[in-house]
Structure 1
């Protein structure tokens, strides 16, 4: 503990670290909160976005656009850069990691927060959507990890990869099969990726943040899920971001290969 009663461990500073945070395209999103938290902790951050995906979804794109998001984070400069890339392209993960190295000279942390949402049931699911959702969510997470491993300087201690899954291992998601299947792949890859990098001092962990209020749910779903959460509310992006910051820090060095459920006691049976 630091002096003065702070709850932030002394190893939680990210001063001098370089992080890539994917999926930073909406002020209400987890990615925006994570990027802001990492910057506040002292890291240099390359933020990635792909707004055309948001344009296809009910919530739409953020009115301020990519440029506005970057400005709200402090504007491009010596500690913040932005790149737009479509992870349906297998070259994109490598280009994103390469952009961080070009901008900041190194890369220490990758937070693979991006996701393609897809609502297709068993009767609706198509091969094209399965392929696309798997490519963006699962394949890109592997390729980001591969690109990070190739670029990381092991003389810089504390390599961190933080992936995201979505609770599909705890309850069925039969109306979102492409999404659930692709997120399940991330769950299953975590241990093997961590083993591949453990001898280099690089940790790989996956976070299931539970229900997080990012503005996508309608009022009925918001109310029903809220009843199943002991706090009576959904989680906030800021709460997720604080956990990501900790996982990116020196304090988390003894944890790898884990899928961490941070759901606020979510009682699915109570919905």
Structure 2
């Protein structure tokens, strides 16, 4: 039986959404290409040794039966997206899954955002995502594939991140129509607030109090939805902006 293979972006931390999705896909029998960029995790997440985190994750996934390759790449560089897809395909064969879980995310508002920050957010969150989708679709075979992009509706005091995620949504939903003849499904997934290490205790208490479930989402919660959308059973879901957030947005 031919194994499925997927490229997951933004897998730089063991507690992140990308890592959670990788774990679930490994259980489901996928081979995985993991992209990451250490300087971002150091600059934004304060990760002291990001290289160790990626190296810790790989044997965990391999123990679940996956073939795993790690691909560093700065998605602010316009050459990187095509190189990532090409490298993943060379090692794992034709890709049938693309998960966009990377993001540039630095809080700033309408009056405090710099042009440099604005441009970087759009380069990483929008331009690179479009290029990854483009390269992925072009390499798909007759069986097609599935795209899932993680999005957000956090915009207040978060101008460049929120605006770039809004642009990402439109690209992903357009892909559902434009790539339909290639048998490629494309959906955007908004998981709501998930504690991947960025929350303070005050933020955690506030968000938990606003959750009808009485708890915050976890990477495993998000991964289950992504795994379904990538599966053959989930392919009929197409062109949707899905809120799988435990009722946070209800």
**TM-score normalized with structure 2 length:** 0.94
Q: Does 1:38 align with 2:25?
A: yes
SS of match in other structure, 1:20: strand
Deviation at 1:71, TM superposition (A): 2.9
Q: Does 1:149 align with 2:153?
A: no
Distance 1:113 1:145 in 2: 13
Aligned residues: 248
Match of 1:234 among 216, 219, 223: 216
Distance 1:87 1:260 in 2: 25
Equivalence for 1:216: 198
**Per the alignment, do residues 162 and 15 of structure 1 end up closer, same or farther by CA in structure 2, a change over 3 Å counting?**
farther
Conserved 8 A contact 1:15-1:42: no
Report 1:34-113 matches (<5 A): 34-61=21-48, 64-74=52-62, 79-113=67-101
Larger radius of gyration: 1
Match of 1:132 among 120, 123, 126: 120
Distance 1:152 1:232 in 2: 41
**Per the alignment, do residues 42 and 15 of structure 1 end up closer, same or farther by CA in structure 2, a change over 3 Å counting?**
farther
Deviation at 1:158, TM superposition (A): 4.2
Equivalence for 1:191: 173
Structure 1 stretches of 4+ moved >6 Å: none
Distance 1:225 1:56 in 2: 25
Unmatched 5+ stretches in structure 2: none
**TM-score normalized with structure 1 length:** 0.87
Unmatched 5+ stretches in structure 1: 1-13
SS of match in other structure, 1:247: helix
Deviation at 1:66, TM superposition (A): 2.6
Q: CA RMSD in A?
A: 1.9
Equivalence for 1:28: 15
Deviation at 1:187, TM superposition (A): 1.5
Conserved 8 A contact 1:51-1:66: no
Conserved 8 A contact 1:158-1:249: no
Match of 2:111 among 123, 126, 145: 123
Distance 1:264 1:101 in 2: 35
Match of 2:239 among 244, 248, 257: 257
Equivalence for 1:167: 153
Deviation at 1:15, TM superposition (A): 6.5
